[in-house]
Each structure stands twice: as structure tokens, then as C-alpha cells.
Amino acid sequence: MTKYWVDGEKTIDINEADDVNSVCFTVDDKDVVVSGGQTILEAVQRTGIANIPALCYHPAVRPYGACRLCTVEVSEDGGKNFKFVASCLYPVKEGMIVKTSTEKVKKLRKGIIELLLARCPNTKIIQELAEEYGVEKPRFSVGDQDCILCGLCVRACQEIIGKSAISLVNRGIYKEVAAPFYAYELGEGCIGCGDCAFVCPTGAITMGDNGKPVLPRVKIPYAEIGAMKSEEKLLASQG
């Protein structure tokens, strides 16, 4: 049985790493030893032992657990009971058993991809995932958005750049990425670094001619109205 010791990029034999704070667990029937304090997804990605899809995860920012694609099954009682957990958030624990692609997990991912495809039918990364998981046509009403609300742009702007020039606003299906007060163009809060466009997994944020990002617009009436100036509102109300 292969044993991996992963620390940064170096893969070494387990016997050389006895004195380090290590956690030993199983991923898809393979034993893995990694340094403690990381999440399942981090450990799996670094070992390359399995392929877990994730859209809202980026190693540079704190995990968020929104897309749920990285869900895996985990047992902490030696395989008696398994539960679904988001691997991007779940910490590795000694002796745990992780299964990254059981039928149940695949079915769940397929369902999530179907929902994402219904929201963003024209987005390349979603189309690719749909093909991989065998989702043909969503059974639901189909939208035409690009943004999957993974929040990576918001987290990058806050955690890496320290500006918080954009935020997620509203709730439920009305949630969207917006500038303060729904401004059409980003104001002084934004330094135009392009980090948000860079981390965006779907390409929903692009850089505009003015050197500042153009945010995705969620096509819902009241957010649009909220962003209108009063004279525009008047014109709109007059038809």
C-alpha cells in the first residue's frame, strides 16, 4: 500500500516523517498521511490522490462551502456510518475514512451541476462539468447568467487586497455581487487590481475599459430598479 507524506510540494516516504504532527487517514481505500490542520480537499489536492471538483474553493482565500460540489462521504467510526461533508471545510482527522466518488456522491454532484447548468447554461466550466457527470439538459427552467455566487471575488477583494470594494448582497435567488449602493461602476473603493476577475471561475467578471471590473448583472427587476437613478426610475415607470 502506498503511503504519502505531503508537505508543500515535497512527497517523501512516511518513515522519514515520524516526528511531525501528522494525520493518517484513508481516501478511497488508500492510506494517506498528511500534516494536521488542513482540510480534506487541501490534502487530497496536494496528494493528487483523487479528483474532487470545487468551484468556490481557491487556495489563496478562506474556504466558504457554497458550491457543495466538493462534498464527499466521511466515516469517523471505522466505516459504520458515513455522512456527507464539504471537503473544502472539513478538517482531516486521524483514522477517518473518506470516499470521494461513491454513487451517492456522484448523484449529489450531478444534481448540483444540473442546478448550476440551469442557472448558467452558457458557462464553459459548468458545461464541462455537466459533460463529465453526464448531465444533458436541465429538467428545470433555464436562466442566462454567468455568476454562480461562489463569492471568490468578494473574498479575494477582502482577504487578499483588503479593500472590500464589492460584496454579496440580498438573499436567496436574489443574491448577487454588487458595488456599494448598486453603483453601475465601481468607485474609489476599487483599485482596479483585477483580482476578482482573476479568481472568478466562470469568467462572469471582466475588466472594463476604465481599468475597473465589470460585475455580473443578475437580471432581476428590483435590483435593477435599485441601481437606477431617480430620473431613470421615472422614465421606466412611464413605460
Partner 1 sequence: MVEQVRKLLDKKLKNTGELEKLRQAVLDKRDTSRITVSVCGGTGCRASGAEAVVEAFAEEIEKRELQVKIDFKETGCHGFCERGPIVVIGPKKIFYQHVQPEDVQEIINETVLQGKVVKRLLYIDPATSEEITYESDVPFYNKQTRLILGANGEIDPTDIEQYIAAGGYSALSKALFQLNPDKIVNEITSAGLRGRGGGGFPTGRKWQSCRTAKGDVKYVLCNADEGDPGAYQDRSILEGNPHSVIEGMIIGAYAIGASQGFIYVRNEYPLAVEHARIALEQAIDYGFLGENILDSGFNFKITINKGGGAFVCGESSALIASLEGKIGEPKSKYTHMSEKGLWERPSLLNNVKTWANVPLIINKGADWYSKIGTAGSKGTMIFSLVGKINNSGLVEVPMGITLREMIYDIGGGIPNGKKFKAVQTGGPSGGCIPEQFLDTHVDFDELTKIGSMMGSGGMIVMDEDTCMVDVARYFINFLKGESCGKCVPCREGLAKMSDILDRITHGEGKPEDLDTMMDLAEILSAGALCALGRTAANPVISTLKYFKDEYMAHINDKKCPAGVCRELIQYSIDPEKCTGCGVCARACSMNAISGEKKEPHVINQNMCIKCGVCYDSCKFGAITKQ
Supply 231's cell numbers: 430620473
In this structure, the number of other CB atoms found within 10 A of the CB of residue 164 comes to: 14
State which of residues 68, 75, 101, 227 lies at the interface with partner 1 (CB under 8 A).
68
Stretch of residues binding partner 1 (CB under 8 A), selected from 23-31, 43-51, 109-117, 129-137: 109-117
State which of residues 6, 85, 97, 130 lies at the interface with partner 1 (CB under 8 A).
85
C-alpha 146/C-alpha 204 separation (Å) is 5
Residues between 20 and 59 with contacts to partner 1, criterion CB under 8 A: none
Look at residues 100, 1, 92, 112 and name the one whose alpha carbon lies nearest to residue 43.
92
Stretch of residues binding partner 1 (CB under 8 A), selected from 2-10, 104-112, 190-198, 224-232: 104-112
Does position 238 interact with partner 1 (CB under 8 A)? The reply is no
Stretch of residues binding partner 1 (CB under 8 A), selected from 11-19, 25-33, 144-152, 188-196: 144-152
In this structure, the number of other CB atoms found within 10 A of the CB of residue 117 comes to: 23
Judged by beta carbon, residue 6 or residue 86, the one nearer partner 1 is 86
Does position 168 interact with partner 1 (CB under 8 A)? The reply is yes
Does position 71 interact with partner 1 (CB under 8 A)? The reply is yes
**DSSP designation for 161:** I
Does position 115 interact with partner 1 (CB under 8 A)? The reply is yes
Query: Does residue 14 contact residue 33 with C-beta atoms inside 8 Å?
Result: yes
Judged by beta carbon, residue 17 or residue 147, the one nearer partner 1 is 147
CA 216, 219, 223, 229 torsion-angle sign = positive
Query: Does residue 122 contact residue 146 with C-beta atoms inside 8 Å?
Result: yes
CA 7 to chain centre: 24
Does position 132 interact with partner 1 (CB under 8 A)? The reply is no
Look at residues 153, 208, 211 and name the one whose alpha carbon lies nearest to residue 178.
153
State which of residues 164, 175, 180, 208 lies at the interface with partner 1 (CB under 8 A).
175
State which of residues 15, 21, 141, 230 lies at the interface with partner 1 (CB under 8 A).
141
Rounded to 10 degrees, what is the CA torsion of 14, 17, 20, 23?
A: 0
Q: Contact positions toward partner 1, by CB under 8 A?
A: 64-69, 71, 84-86, 89-91, 104, 107-108, 111-112, 115-116, 118-119, 139-141, 148-149, 151, 167-168, 170-175
